[in-house]
């Protein structure tokens, strides 16, 4: 077993970044990251959290996940698309989230794009599904972007999405399970050799 896999509180082998304890981060690893979903709200959440992660660490954004859910109507796309400039100003006063006007506006604009874009985000995600010849051997083998992520980012930008560079789009692809980057030996890996 590599240093990139750790035995958790329940005896299961996990990607080391998830930690060994029973924490929200380990539950996210076990239940969300790399699990395939085409649910609109889940996809919008993953895309939005990626917007807020730009320039920050995932742990900061993840720590505010519940506050973001509350601020953005549990990532209901139609409700976020209907948000006004006054709503943006209100969110800028909310200390529980990352208060960045450009990122808050991007979340609203992305909801609007998601409402009108064709093909839809779930359809685009399905077209990008990737199979791999086995799980990555280590965290070092996981790319920060791929040609597929670059192509998807370009398509999303053409549809009006904002803050969707190749790195954040690849993170989105990992979050919604378009790719499974759990490392070899993790119980969630594509192959468990």
pLDDT tens across 116-146, in order?
A: 999 999 999 888 876 556 789 999 999 999 9
Report, as an integer, the average pLDDT of 22-29: 94
The total of structural domains in the chain comes to: 1
Domain-located, residue 71: yes
Q: Give the C-alpha separation, 34 to 16, whole Å.
A: 15
Report, as an integer, the average pLDDT of 17-34: 94
Tokens of 55: 């320039």
Domain-located, residue 9: no
Q: Residue 50 sits in a domain of what CATH number?
A: 1.10.340.30
Instruction: Of 106, 31, 111, give the one whose Cα is nearest residue 74.
Output: 111
Confidence (pLDDT) at 27: 95
Q: Give the C-alpha separation, 47 to 65, whole Å.
A: 12
- pTM here is 0.92
Domain-located, residue 70: yes
Domain-located, residue 146: yes
Report, as an integer, the average pLDDT of 2-14: 93
Domain-located, residue 122: yes
Domain-located, residue 91: yes
Q: Contact 136/184 with Cβ under 8 angstroms? A: yes
pLDDT, tens digit, 9 for 90 and up, residues 84-102: 999 999 999 999 999 999 9
Domain-located, residue 24: no
Q: Which residue has the higher pLDDT, 191 or 118?
A: 118
Residue ranges making up the domain that contains 47:
40-175
Domain-located, residue 8: no
Q: Band of the pLDDT at 65, cuts 50, 70, 90?
A: very high
Confidence (pLDDT) at 35: 93
């Amino acid at each position: 077993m590599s240093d990139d896999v750790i035995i958790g509180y329940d005896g299961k082998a996990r990607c080391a970044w998830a930690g060994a304890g029973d924490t929200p981060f380990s539950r996210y690893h076990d239940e969300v990251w790399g699990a395939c979903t085409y649910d609109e709200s889940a996809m919008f959440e993953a895309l939005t959290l990626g917007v807020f992660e730009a320039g920050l660490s995932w742990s900061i954004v993840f720590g505010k996940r519940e506050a973001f859910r509350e601020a953005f109507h549990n990532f209901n796309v139609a409700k976020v698309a209907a948000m006004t400039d006054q709503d943006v100003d209100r969110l800028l006063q909310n200390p529980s989230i990352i208060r960045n006007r450009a990122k808050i506006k991007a979340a609203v604009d992305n909801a609007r794009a998601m409402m009108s874009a064709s093909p839809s985000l779930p359809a685009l995600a399905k077209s990008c599904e990737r199979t791999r010849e086995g799980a990555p051997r280590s965290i070092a083998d996981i790319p920060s972007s791929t040609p597929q992520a670059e192509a998807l980012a370009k398509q999303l930008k053409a549809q009006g999405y904002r803050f969707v560079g190749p790195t954040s789009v690849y993170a989105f692809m990992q979050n919604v399970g378009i790719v499974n980057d759990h490392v070899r030996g993790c119980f969630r890996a594509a192959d468990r050799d």
